Amino acid sequence: MNWWLVWLVAFITGISILGIYYSRRIKSADDYVMANFSLGFFPICGSIIATALGASAVIGASGKGFTIGLSWFTANIPYVLFSILLAMILGSTIRKLKLYTLPDLFVRRFGKATGLIPALVISILYMTPTFGMQIVGMGSILTSIIDVPLTLAMLLGFVVCVAFTLMGGLPSVAWTDAVQSVLILLGLIVLFLIGVNYVGGFNVVMANTPENISSFFSLSKTEMFNYLVIFGPFYLVWQTTWQRLAAARTDKIAVRAVSIGYLLSGFVGLFAIGIGIVARQVLPLNTVPDLVYTEFLTTIAHPSIGGLFMVSLFAAVLTGATSFLLSGAANISKDIYHGWISPDASDKKVLKVSRLSVAIMAFLGLGVALFIKDIVAIYTYALSLSAVTLVMPVMAAMFWKRATKSGAIISIIGSLAFALIWNFAGRPFGLHEIIPGLAVSFLLLVVGSLVTEHSSEEEVIAYYFALKELDDPSLESANSVVDTSVKQERMDA
């Protein structure tokens, strides 16, 4: 019996049933994109874990454990730390604003024009290559389960992902993520323990592992600083986290579920790294890092149980793909279509465009996966540009009432141009573009705001302070408080 295939078919059948169930409950665009802002602790926490522990976190971390060792765990601290800080400091505010997307914040605070560039950056530049990476990951996993060429395996993974996302939207994605998070956690922990037992125990692993591999501090200070700067700020504006915070049923659920989700993601990531370290005792040291997890799995585990671990890996990649696909589609349908092309469109029309946007994003990502070789380089580049253009205006919307529409637009366009020029110039002085890019973004925002006045379409407000005392409001009451604050500000002016 082909246990690998049995587990895979069982998994796909299960998520298909869930997708069909939720597809019948989707009645509006809010239901599809944001689960009608009613998700509880388990689906949000599970969705965070499943998305954070995607292809790069499982396959990539195992490969890094194999080549770098435990010090890779310290490189993951920035994303966990910044994400938890975002949830604890701004989680309640984000939940009260009930934002569909991150560009929705720009539109609400600074006006319609400021939301277009962030929407394009997130949906096309960031989400598309990210989805493409997941397609490549799914294809690689499927080729180890069924004997088909990589291209065909990628197409099969693409069909499963798109069909599931089109059917149920965020409700099915979030609940399936929650179930898949259990599979991922179980797969990583149990495979690590089986691996340790297979090679003879912890003492054998430690005795045969070089000191630089078993140390948490083998990365240089320069490397750690680079990881902190490159990955940390981006997670302040990672739309996936913002959407999960906004979709929560209450403020407390939003903050606790996201914080605990990232804590567990960081902790369980240790097991992925540990699998790579244990694999050094079994696999040739010249094994390609991205193949370490699957090679180790097929070597030590009987297919009857190994099939479950392989499905957990497939689940990790699939859940990342569905989350990125749905998030990018929301930018197209809500920020670009509803915000610019057809502001008066009915909810039913927006729902149709949301599903169409999923298909568009999916085919763009498939094109990236099939025809662009260096996807990782594109992804890293997109991550950098997202952080440079979004972090400072977002922080201004939350904390600085004096920020103006003109200042925000100057900051977004100017920092984007500067980051592109800096990168094409070969990163002078060895500095990654995020470091000088954030500095330029901050400077342009401050100077541009101080020399310009607020426009009539702005909400002149610092959301963090204005909504701090508001106790878990409905959307209408939150907007009422915002409107009152705006009117008072304009009267004072």
CA distance 147 to 243: 38
Average pLDDT, the chain: 80
Range with top average pLDDT, 187-196, 351-360, 449-458: 449-458
What pLDDT does residue 486 have? 47
Count the helix, strand and coil residues of the chain and give each as a percent rounded to the nearest 5: 80, 0, 20
What pLDDT does residue 141 have? 80
CA distance 212 to 417: 40
What pLDDT does residue 340 have? 75
> Could you tell me the pLDDT band of residue 481, with boundaries at 50, 70 and 90?
very low
* Residue count of the chain: 493
Mean pLDDT lowest for which of 83-97, 321-335, 390-404, 425-439?
321-335
In the chain, what are the domains? Answer: 3-374 (1.20.1730.10)
At 471, the amino acid letter reads: D
Tens-digit pLDDT profile for residues 267-291: 888 898 999 999 999 999 888 887 8
**Residue 273 neighbours by CB under 8 Å, 6+ apart:** 61, 62, 64, 65, 69, 70, 72, 73
Tens-digit pLDDT profile for residues 56-114: 677 778 888 998 888 888 878 888 999 999 999 999 999 888 877 888 899 889 988 88
What pLDDT does residue 422 have? 92
What pLDDT does residue 83 have? 93
Contact between 453 and 467 under an 8 Å Cβ cutoff? The reply is: no
What pLDDT does residue 451 have? 95
* DSSP track, 149-217: -HHHHHHHHHHHHHHHHHHHHHHHHHHHHHHHHHHHHHHHHHHHHHHHHHHT-HHHHHHTS-HHHH-TT
CA distance 225 to 215: 18
Q: Which residues of 110-147 are buried (b: 16+ CB within 10 A; e: fewer)?
A: bbebbbbbbbbbbbbbbbbbbbbbbbbbbbbbbbbbee
Query: pLDDT over 70 for what percent of the chain?
Result: 84
Where do we find the tokens 């997109």? 382
Contact between 364 and 124 under an 8 Å Cβ cutoff? The reply is: yes
Neighbours of 374 (CB within 10 A): 10
The model's pTM: 0.79
Q: How many CA atoms lie within 13 A of 176 on its CB side?
A: 33
Tens-digit pLDDT profile for residues 214-245: 888 887 777 777 777 777 888 899 888 988 88
CA distance 337 to 360: 13
Kindly state the tokens that stand for 465: 């302070």
CA distance 176 to 167: 13
Tens-digit pLDDT profile for residues 186-216: 878 888 999 999 989 989 888 888 888 888 8
Helices 303-330 and 41-52: crossing angle, nearest 10°? 100
Which is nearest to 15 in space by CA: 319, 310, 304?
319
Residue 130 has pLDDT above 60, yes or no: yes
Task: Name the H helices within 285-346.
Answer: 292-300, 303-330
Tens-digit pLDDT profile for residues 360-388: 888 888 887 787 665 566 667 777 888 89
> What dihedral angle (degrees, nearest 10) is formed by the CA atoms of 30, 34, 38, 44?
170
Which whole number is the average pLDDT over 112-125?
81
